[in-house]
Each structure stands twice: as structure tokens, then as C-alpha cells.
């Protein structure tokens, strides 16, 4: 995947991604792999989350005060 492909593929969310610069970035490990975005997440110093079969625990993240940014294309 070309550099910045994650940002380009999430075009409608670009304003939100721009606001997230410099803040912690995390992505579902399974989904990042399925969409070929693992290297892109890592290039943003992101964390690949894999609590359950490669997927993050949304419950745990929300209980820790995180907010989710999602896109349904």
C-alpha cells in the first residue's frame, strides 16, 4: 500500500484525522492486516490492537476514556 493510503482511503474522515495528529493512534490488528494497512498504522507510530482474535476490546478502550473514529464505506 502506498504511503498515506490510509488517509486517502478515509477521505470523508480527513478533518478528524487531521485533528488526531500528535495523539495516540490505534487500529484493529485484524482489520489493518485485511486491508493492507499494517505498515501505514505503524508509520504513524500507531498501536495494533489485538485483544480478542486480532480485534481490540472496544469495551476496555471506552472504559479507559478513548473515543472511537469509525467509517462505514
Is residue 50 within 8 Å of 29, Cβ to Cβ?
yes
Q: pLDDT per residue over 54-73, tens digit each?
A: 998 989 989 999 887 776 65
User: Does residue 52 sit within a domain?
Assistant: yes
Number of domains in the chain: 1
DSSP string for residues in 16-41? HHHHTTTS--EEEHHHHHHTT-HHHH
User: Does residue 30 sit within a domain?
Assistant: yes
User: Does residue 60 sit within a domain?
Assistant: yes
- By residue range, what is the domain housing residue 54? 25-68
User: Does residue 9 sit within a domain?
Assistant: no
User: Does residue 36 sit within a domain?
Assistant: yes
In terms of pTM, does the model score above 0.85? no
What's the pLDDT score for residue 54? 92
Amino acid at each position: 500500500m502506498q504511503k498515506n493510503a490510509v488517509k486517502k482511503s478515509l477521505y470523508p474522515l480527513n478533518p478528524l484525522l487531521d485533528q488526531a495528529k500528535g495523539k495516540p493512534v490505534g487500529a484493529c490488528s485484524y482489520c489493518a492486516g485485511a486491508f493492507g494497512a499494517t505498515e501505514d498504522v505503524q508509520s504513524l507510530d500507531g498501536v495494533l490492537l489485538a485483544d480478542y482474535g486480532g480485534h481490540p476490546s472496544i469495551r476496555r478502550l471506552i472504559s479507559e476514556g478513548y473515543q472511537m473514529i469509525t467509517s462505514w464505506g
